Amino acid sequence: MEYTVTLLFIVTIFSGYTSVPKQEHMKLRLTIGEKTSSAILYDTPSSRDFASLLPLTLQLEDYAHTEKIASLSKKLSTKDAPVGFNPSIGDLTYYAPWGNIALFYKDFDYSKGLISLGKITSGMENFAVKGSVTVKIEREK
């Protein structure tokens, strides 16, 4: 009997480690003129801090023909953030050294100080245009 209880206890303890918990993401709507894109924000301290600023209207300037960037009204939390990130098309990021948001419309190299906030899930083509774009970012209802 004692062996069965111990085995049950061990199985119960380790069962939490064998299943992968479903991570919830906040859904966003990004509006550029008459066009709409969708995105998700990851559940991280930096992303939650960004979400606290919503809704936001930003003028995204083109930077290095790779990303659209805009300064934020305050610095975001970098708690538990990795040292850097290797962005790809559609990544919504925060560049901590400058305190700006960066949305990548082309792949780029690993960058120290870059923190992943989320990902564009549809309408990425709305950002792959020359020059700046004005975008309204809000929680999807």
Tell me, what CATH number does 31's domain have? 2.40.100.20
Distance between CA atoms of 61 and 55, rounded to whole angstroms?
Answer: 19
pLDDT (0 to 100) of residue 128: 82
pLDDT (0 to 100) of residue 37: 97
Q: Where are the alpha helices (DSSP H) in 1-141?
A: 2-18, 45-51
pLDDT (0 to 100) of residue 24: 65
Q: Report yes or no on 9 lying in a domain.
A: no
Total domains in the fold of the chain: 1
Q: Report yes or no on 60 lying in a domain.
A: yes
Show the domain range for 134.
24-139
Strand 111-112 versus strand 114-122 pairing type: unpaired
Q: Report yes or no on 8 lying in a domain.
A: no
Instruction: Record the pTM.
Output: 0.81
Distance between CA atoms of 20 and 117, rounded to whole angstroms?
Answer: 21
Residue with tokens 């069962």: 15
Q: What is the DSSP letter of 30?
A: E
Q: Report yes or no on 1 lying in a domain.
A: no
pLDDT (0 to 100) of residue 40: 97
Low-confidence ranges of the chain (pLDDT < 50): 1, 3-22
Q: Report yes or no on 117 lying in a domain.
A: yes
